């Protein structure tokens, strides 16, 4: 047995087991892994000192909070139709509330959000100290005006957002609906709807609460709803009315019956529901089982007909509200870095004050002097830093949305645009993100013969022939069919002709699905007559297909192209049109929908003309291969098709006798009525049918790549970004999309991680993988779970060295877990991009989430920080906008700090010359003006600066690699700015002191004017590419300063300002403070230019 000596011991030092015997030890062995040892901390005095008090505080607080807001326990319920007063429980109001605050919590809430930042809290303390007379320095407004401005801006922004939320909520809550009562219809507000009400919802109206579907105006007894606001899927869902209430002659009869719905307790899962409908006053009582297809969830939209439902859940208990989570507030890396720098500045400020007091010699009340020095130098940490950065972020967001090269881009989180310039890992979904989610039928395989795109016309002629033969035999068809089927099952199988096998396969594909043909209204024709007309002629030009998966639509469209068309479908029947125009009717006896667990769907139909009952089934190869009869070709052909990048489905059938079906139906109905373990019982009954099915064919459908996916991935790879593809699809499809999209380059090897189930297997497989170099990794979700359970650190370390990683069969929670693992283990910035509801958790977990508005709906793009319309736009978003946002914010942040440091240096020099007196150098308006009107515009104009032209950044993505190292804002660059500030502050102050003649007033005038000029020149020095607005800002600020001199007579001697001596002294000091820096910058550009300069030249 091996032992790990040390936490950092890698897998290299572990002996490679040639057999697995070394691993067959008991569970307790796992605790010898190093991580487990570290976790067992000594719970002694040390624990109490370090963590104990924290633990006690949090547990006390938690206990108090729990007492204050005890959560009501959710229970199952019995709801009587139209009788809200019969409810035993009190249910929540049906109002939607998306507001963060109410009238009382708004101000405390906003203040808390602001002052939890070190920077703002520091300013609050400084400003409050001015109320103490002994500490008062200058005027109150010099401290409170900037702080008040920051708070006012923030509060106004929050208040506007909050008011918009309030208006949206009010609009939704006050929508009017028709409620059915004994006295007829009554208009009722959405927020006044109660559990038990009967609500009528018209076409295109939002469903106000969770309801059970009782009646519809559609004669089929079913309707379509749009669920894109709930689960992000754009297709329509078919919902079925409770048959007992649908069959009542008139609407008012809902009150003449005594009936109730028993519903399970409210829960989050939007794809399942268990309940029963009971009518008591009939003899015997009628019981109907209710499932997800009888429900209408809140926030979905009725797409056809008018529906009537009974309300079962309201307000906070509806599925849509239970599924809204509050996403975490994302904080950018740049903000964290700046926060660290402000803390460093704070330490410098304290140190400087202590030095001053020490040089004073601790005379008198020295602690009061210490505090006064802290106040004097408080400008070291500039309050305008946050304002400038927040305004900058808003500008970057506006630029992204206005960029014509990436139309339709929306910035939803305006606080993290700089993150786009720091990404190292990109985690992407496959379907709909890299591919278009538009399916095209490519291949049909019958075992002995395969048809591709170029031989589809053969299938067409086979289908036409077989139907013309059937019509010619139509006379003897009814008598001969049943004995023939019996003979077939008992006698040895006769080899069927290719033509009949094709006919069987096409018929199975056109019958086994969940697709509904929808006929669009023509202009100028009213809906009612149009529908009646559509029923008769089934005209081809305005028919579209609706289904929950694009694969199914592709299959049905293909059968239409070979001559067998699905023309109508309701709950109980389907009509097909043959090539000759004859309509065949089939009765749907049972439908088993597709689920992610079963990976298959089935249907039992009866042919109206021959009364034959057939069970058709289609699904993924892994699910179908144990069900179908033995064959030697299925597995191999599935592999071949997957290598071509096709999604495969296996189609099979089984003929049933009437007795077999009746037996099945009674067991199935029984299982559906049970309230405990319903899904397990139903699955068991269906599985009794799924045995020895006849394999008909294998279909291959291609999902086309999005536009420009290959060059975009190539660009991202050159930029040093590692791309991981996380998909729910199967291993073969994922691998071939990875190859066709050039995620894995042609020359690279692919290491497919074996299926592992135990710790021993995982160890051997990881060792095998470690010997490979520069090869992409493909791993399935199950194997990944095992590796993470035993060898998390080692696995992530190995995977991070791969040029590309593909994880297939991933669940949404697994996707999010991989993102958090990468963040924890590498400490690098991650970006997740996806387009469906299943990508939301991954998008919210990543440092930067990008959503694509795709076929799967808007859910991902609404949850994301940035929303784009096509995958290829990500290239420009990162290379151009990410780069600019990061570079500009870094320059802006450091410049604002420089602005504070330079004035603090001058104050320090001034105090030290005047016997360490804690007297302010500039008072009142000069300080406020300096931080705002005199220097604000030029400094802020740095947000227009760019070091590289967008075309250049796109052409040389390698430039992006530099950004991830974070060199634009680091302690090194910060120290350079500190040195510049100390140099300039010293020169300005000493210069003024040396040159001043008689009066102290002149020192202030000379040094302040030189200071303003220096700041304007420094902006010009920092700029890399001039923009006309920058020039305007420079002259505007200078103009403001010159014109304000006339009013500042309490600070300046106006007579002195207008003399020539004043002008030359100011010019001399300014030149000395700025010229050396210009010289240094020029030399640096010449001797060691940055990489982008070499390209630009």
Bridge partners of 602, per DSSP, are: 592, 617
CA-based nearest residue to 858, from 227, 268, 298: 227
State the Cα angle at 681 between 680 and 684, rounded to 5°: 85
Round to whole Å and give the CA distance between 590 and 597: 19
182 token code pair: 């004994």
Bridge partners of 854, per DSSP, are: 857
> For tokens 């000594």, what's the residue?
42
DSSP structure class, residue 878: I
Give yes or no for a contact between 503 and 564, defined as CB atoms under 8 angstroms apart: no
Active-site option among 210, 429, 703, 835: 429
State the Cα angle at 735 between 731 and 739, rounded to 5°: 170
Indicate if 429 belongs to the active site: yes
Other Cβ atoms less than 10 A from the Cβ of 597: the count is: 9
CB neighbour list of residue 222: distance below 8 Å, 6 or more residues apart? 216, 238, 239, 240, 241, 570, 571
How crowded is the C-beta side of 630, counted as CA atoms within 13 Å?
0
Round to whole Å and give the CA distance between 784 and 807: 8
CA-based nearest residue to 903, from 377, 486, 415: 377
Give yes or no for a contact between 864 and 851, defined as CB atoms under 8 angstroms apart: yes
1021 token code pair: 């020095």
CA-based nearest residue to 694, from 666, 655, 642: 655
CA torsion 51-57-60-62 (nearest 10°) is -80
Round to whole Å and give the CA distance between 628 and 653: 9
> For tokens 């791309």, what's the residue?
723
* DSSP secondary structure of 1015-1040: HHHHHHHH-SS--HHHHHHHHHHHHH
CB neighbour list of residue 790: distance below 8 Å, 6 or more residues apart? 30, 33, 759, 762, 763
Other Cβ atoms less than 10 A from the Cβ of 468: the count is: 12
563: left (phi over 0), alpha (psi -120 to 50) or beta: left
* DSSP secondary structure of 72-131: PPP--EEEETT-GGG-SS----S-----S--TTTHHHHHHHHHHTSHHHHHHHHHHHHTT
> For tokens 């009340």, what's the residue?
365
Round to whole Å and give the CA distance between 157 and 699: 55
User: Which residues form the catalytic set?
Assistant: 429
């Amino acid at each position: 047995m091996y032992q790990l000596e040390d936490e950092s011991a890698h897998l290299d030092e572990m002996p490679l087991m040639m057999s697995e015997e070394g691993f067959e030890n008991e569970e307790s062995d796992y605790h010898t892994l190093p991580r487990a040892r570290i976790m067992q901390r000594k719970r002694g005095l040390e624990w109490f000192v370090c963590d104990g008090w924290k633990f006690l505080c949090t547990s006390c607080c938690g206990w108090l909070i729990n007492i204050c807001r005890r959560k009501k326990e959710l229970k199952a319920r019995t709801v009587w139709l139209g009788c809200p007063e019969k409810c035993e429980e009190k249910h929540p109001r049906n109002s939607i509330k998306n507001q963060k605050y109410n009238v009382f919590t708004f101000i405390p809430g906003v203040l808390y959000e602001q002052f939890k930042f070190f920077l703002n809290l520091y300013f609050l303390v400084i400003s409050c100290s001015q109320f103490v007379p002994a500490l008062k320095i200058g005027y109150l407004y010099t401290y409170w005006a900037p702080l008040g401005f920051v708070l006012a801006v923030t509060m106004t922004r929050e208040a506007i957002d909050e008011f918009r939320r309030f208006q949206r909520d009010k609009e939704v809550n006050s929508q009017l609906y028709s409620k059915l009562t004994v006295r007829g219809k009554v208009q009722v507000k959405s927020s006044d709807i109660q559990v038990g009400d009967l609500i009528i919802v018209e076409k295109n109206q939002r469903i106000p609460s969770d309801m059970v579907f009782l009646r519809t105006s559609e004669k089929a007894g079913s309707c379509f709803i749009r669920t894109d606001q709930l689960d992000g899927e754009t297709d329509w869902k078919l919902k079925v009315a409770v048959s007992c209430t649908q069959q009542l002659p008139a609407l008012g009869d809902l009150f003449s019956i005594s009936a109730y719905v028993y519903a399970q307790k409210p829960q989050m899962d939007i794809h399942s529901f268990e309940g029963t409908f009971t009518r008591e006053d009939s003899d015997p009582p009628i019981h109907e089982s209710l499932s997800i297809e009888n429900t209408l969830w809140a926030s979905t939209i009725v797409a056809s007909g008018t529906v009537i439902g009974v309300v079962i859940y309201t307000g906070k208990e509806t599925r849509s509200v239970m599924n809204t989570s509050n996403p975490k507030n994302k904080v950018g890396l740049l903000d964290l870095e700046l926060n660290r720098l402000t803390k460093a500045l704070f330490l410098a400020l304290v140190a400087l004050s202590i030095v001053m007091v020490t040089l004073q010699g601790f005379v008198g009340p020295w602690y009061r002097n210490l505090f006064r020095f802290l106040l004097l130098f408080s400008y070291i940490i500039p309050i305008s830093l946050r304002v400038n950065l927040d305004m900058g972020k808003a500008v970057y967001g506006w630029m992204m949305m206005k960029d014509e090269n990436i139309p339709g881009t929306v910035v939803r989180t305006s606080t993290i645009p700089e993150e786009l310039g720091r990404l190292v890992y990109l985690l992407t979904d496959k379907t709909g993100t890299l591919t278009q989610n538009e399916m095209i039928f490519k291949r049909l395989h019958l075992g002995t013969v395969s048809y591709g795109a170029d031989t589809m016309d053969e299938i067409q002629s086979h289908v036409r022939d077989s139907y013309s033969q059937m019509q010619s035999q139509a006379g003897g068809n009814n008598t001969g069919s049943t004995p023939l089927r019996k003979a077939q099952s008992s006698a040895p199988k006769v080899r069927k002709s290719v033509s009949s096998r094709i006919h069987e396969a096409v018929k199975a594909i056109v019958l086994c699905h969940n697709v509904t043909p929808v006929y669009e209204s023509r202009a100028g024709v009213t809906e009612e007559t149009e529908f009646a007309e559509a029923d008769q002629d089934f005209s081809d030009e305005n028919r579209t297909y609706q289904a929950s998966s694009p694969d199914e639509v592709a299959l049905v469209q293909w059968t239409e192209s070979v001559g067998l068309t699905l023309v109508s479908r309701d709950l109980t029947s389907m009509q097909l049109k043959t090539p000759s125009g004859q309509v065949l009717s089939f009765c749907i006896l049972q439908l088993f929908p597709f689920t992610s667990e079963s990976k298959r769907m089935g249907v039992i139909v009866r042919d109206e003309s021959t009364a034959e009952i057939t069970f058709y089934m289609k699904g993924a190869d892994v699910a179908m291969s144990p069900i179908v009869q033995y064959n030697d070709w299925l597995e191999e052909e599935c592999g071949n098709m997957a290598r071509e990048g096709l999604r495969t489905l296996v189609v099979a059938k089984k003929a049933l006798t009437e007795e077999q079906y009746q037996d099945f139906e009674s067991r199935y109905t029984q299982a559906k009525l049970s309230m405990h373990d319903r899904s397990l019982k139903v699955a068991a009954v269906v599985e009794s049918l799924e045995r020895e099915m006849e394999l008909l064919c294998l279909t291959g459908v291609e999902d086309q790549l999005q536009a420009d996916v290959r060059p975009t991935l190539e660009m991202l790879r050159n930029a040093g970004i590692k791309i991981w593809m996380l998909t729910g699809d199967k291993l073969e499809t994922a691998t071939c999309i990875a190859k066709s999209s050039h995620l894995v380059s042609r020359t690279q090897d692919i290491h497919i991680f074996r299926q592992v189930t135990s710790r021993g297997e995982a160890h051997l497989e990881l060792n095998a993988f470690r010997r490979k170099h520069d090869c992409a990794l493909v791993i399935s979700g199950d194997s990944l779970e095992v590796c993470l359970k035993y060898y998390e650190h080692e696995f992530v370390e190995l995977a991070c060295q791969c040029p590309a990683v593909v994880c297939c069969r991933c669940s949404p929670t697994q996707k999010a877990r991989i993102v958090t693992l990468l963040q924890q283990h590498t400490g690098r910035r991650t970006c997740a991009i996806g387009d469906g509801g299943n990508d939301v958790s991954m998008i919210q977990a990543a440092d930067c989430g990008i959503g694509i508005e795709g076929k799967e709906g808007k859910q991902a793009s609404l949850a994301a920080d940035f929303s784009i319309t096509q995958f290829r736009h990500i290239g420009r978003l990162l290379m151009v906008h990410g780069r600019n946002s990061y570079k500009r914010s870094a320059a802006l942040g450091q410049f604002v700090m420089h602005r504070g440091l330079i004035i603090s240096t001058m104050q320090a020099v001034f105090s030290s010359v005047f016997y360490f007196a804690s007297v302010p150098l500039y008072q009142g308006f000069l300080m406020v003006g300096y931080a705002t009107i005199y220097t604000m515009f030029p400094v802020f104009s740095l947000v227009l600066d760019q070091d590289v032209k967008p075309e250049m950044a796109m052409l040389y993505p390698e430039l992006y690699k530099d950004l991830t190292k974070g060199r634009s804002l680091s302690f090194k660059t910060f120290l350079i700015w500190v040195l510049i500030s100390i140099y300039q502050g010293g020169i300005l102050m000493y210069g003024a002191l040396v040159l001043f003649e008689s009066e102290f007033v002149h020192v202030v005038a000379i040094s302040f004017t030189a200071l303003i000029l220096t700041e304007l020149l420094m902006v010009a020095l920092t700029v890399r590419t001039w923009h006309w607005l920058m020039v305007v800002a420079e002259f505007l600020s200078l103009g403001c300063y010159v014109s304000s001199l006339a009013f500042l007579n309490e600070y300046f001697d106006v007579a002195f300002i207008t003399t020539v001596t004043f002008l030359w002294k100011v010019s001399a000091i300014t030149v000395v403070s700025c010229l050396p820096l210009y010289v240094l910058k020029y030399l640096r550009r010449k001797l060691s230019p940055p990489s982008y300069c070499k390209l630009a030249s």
